[in-house]
Structure 1
């Protein structure tokens, strides 16, 4: 049983990455474009362009969420995104109360830790990172030596 679970690990990780990336991207799209219910606390509206930190967080969510979703530069995108969520938790939520259940920071904490996992594991299966890694490995492989008779 363990062998079958271990062989499925890259696929489970790939699906995990896709779900986390999609959900993170949706938060950015909601805040920037007012879709999916809009930005939190705006009654369906958007965050003002250039406002700190909401607009910048939404841009990071949209861009890094898309990169994580497609598995392109996953580790770097997840690192930047996790950092933005750590900032959100400690600067926006935590000053209101200690625990996430009290300060409304559950999503920021969960996204932060979900993205930290991707920093260490990479994209798993189904990611564009794998296509480029395979291609670059084939390009680095030396050509076969000519056969002399």
Structure 2
């Protein structure tokens, strides 16, 4: 099955998605740690090494930057996703069942966005591709691939 868009456009869209999600997450971390951009969303800046506030903010800042620039993207995105799942279940879930009721929508959206990035990779415009030579995996067989033709003929 062919994709309606060329692979390069898909990779570019993925890269832009990664950049936006990483930038937004970085802003949350910077707001909490440095009292900028409107300050901490939870009301107060966490003290150094305070659990879990400072660590969550540090993951938001560092993980967000790594995802934003596309460096070590998959492990960074997985860590960010896990931190948001933790935040949802320890902070929001106890208040009400649904994210819209308990204020956990940002945590859920970030969790799933980062899980998607960890799964599909950084897309275009990433340092992973530039420095480490990672290329997108293609699922479509090459036109001259005899094994693929034999498989699809079955």
In terms of fraction of residues, the more helix-rich structure is 1
Which residue in the other structure is 1:28 paired with? 29
Which residue in the other structure is 1:49 paired with? 48
Which residue in the other structure is 1:102 paired with? 101
Structure 2, unaligned stretches of length 5 or more? 135-154
Whole-angstrom CA distance in 2 between matches of 1:3 and 1:105: 35
Structure 1, unaligned stretches of length 5 or more? 136-149
For these two proteins, the number of residue pairs brought into alignment is: 133
- State the 4+ residue runs in structure 1 displaced beyond 6 angstroms: none
| TM-score normalised over the length of structure 1 | 0.84
RMSD: 1.7
Residue deviations 1:20-53 (CA, integer Å, cap 9, x gap) = 00000000000000000010132xx522222221
Is 1:11 the counterpart of 2:16? The answer is: no
Which residue in the other structure is 1:139 paired with? none
Whole-angstrom CA distance in 2 between matches of 1:56 and 1:124: 28
| TM-score normalised over the length of structure 2 | 0.81
Instruction: Quote the offset at 1:6 in angstroms.
Output: 4.4
